[in-house]
Amino acid sequence: MRKLTKAAVLGATVAVAGIALLPTAANAAENVVQVPIAQGQSDDLVWSFTNAATAFYNIENGGQITFNAPANTTFPAQQTVTTHYGDLSTGNALTLTSCSTGAAGKTLTCSVSVPNSNVAWPANGRFLFAPKVTVAADATPGAYTGAASTLNLTSSTTTDTFSASAALRVKVTMAAPTFNKADNSSGSTVLSGNGTPGATINVKNAAGDIIGTTTVAADGSWSVDLGTDLSDGASALTISQSLNGETSPETTVDAADLPVINAAIAGGAGLAALLGAGAFLLRRRMA
């Protein structure tokens, strides 16, 4: 049985197009590939392995791999997993099909499929598989690594087997906070929305100055009183959230989204009162 081993010398960096990478062992079997995905979003992670042994010929159908999702991620239902050879721009004759999830989406098991008996894994050749995962909306930002996922292959011409193990890695990034409403009923503009529990919310004006800050509550809600009424001549505001050294993209609140007048008047009560007062004065003058 052939086994692939890692070299112990560190320092080389694997170059895989379009993906953020970490240093890995020189001539190592596993290529460390970390993919950034925002909270609540879905994207492909990358399982990457270089054959550090001799070529393995005549791969046959029936091989299998079970992927293990990193913490804060799960596998959505997917029948196939995209496969590549060399880099993420090149296809692979070996495909992964008949995939099924297990353990509440924490595992994804796929079968190896090849078009003919001539498919081989050359020495120093790199296989890359890209299973899709979904990051939990409330995931804490940071780097997470799943348990090793092992590919097992068999040959149609020999009794040799081939095993390759690599882990899926994700860097969970902050999603932009949501803005739900603005309220001026107290005479001061109060913004509210949803975000990541424990994150710091910062509200900035058009000049980029922080004019309000708060912490997202455990239930994911936030509310910040800006201390002044911005309904008169207000400009656009931006809102971001930060946690564990990660800062989200900004959510923009257009000036049009801020109440133009006091909410009590906007609701019709103030207008009715003004109209009533006008009618009373008119009657007084006519009398």
168 and 185 housed in the same domain: no
End residue of a domain, out of 173, 202, 228: 173
85 and 201 housed in the same domain: no
> What is the average pLDDT across 30-53?
95
Q: Looking at the 3D structure of the chain, how many domains does it have?
A: 2
Report yes or no on 287 lying in a domain: no
CB 188 within 8 A of CB 229: yes
- State pLDDT tens for residues 70-82: 999 999 999 999 9
> What is the average pLDDT across 228-237?
75
17 and 117 housed in the same domain: yes
4 pLDDT exceeds 80?
no
CATH number for the domain spanning 237: value is 2.60.40.10
Gap between the Cα atoms of 188 and 201, Å rounded: 18
pTM for the structure as a whole: 0.75
Gap between the Cα atoms of 246 and 36, Å rounded: 12
10 and 149 housed in the same domain: yes
> What is the average pLDDT across 108-122?
95
End residue of a domain, out of 155, 173, 191: 173
199 and 121 housed in the same domain: no
- Per the structure, the complete domain to which residue 9 belongs is given by 2-173
123 and 33 housed in the same domain: yes
Residues paired with 242 in a beta bridge: 200, 247
284 pLDDT exceeds 50?
no
272 and 212 housed in the same domain: yes
184 and 164 housed in the same domain: no
27 and 112 housed in the same domain: yes
115 and 44 housed in the same domain: yes
131 and 168 housed in the same domain: yes
- State pLDDT tens for residues 181-229: 999 888 889 999 999 999 999 999 989 999 999 999 999 999 999 988 7
> What is the average pLDDT across 271-287?
36
End residue of a domain, out of 173, 190, 213: 173
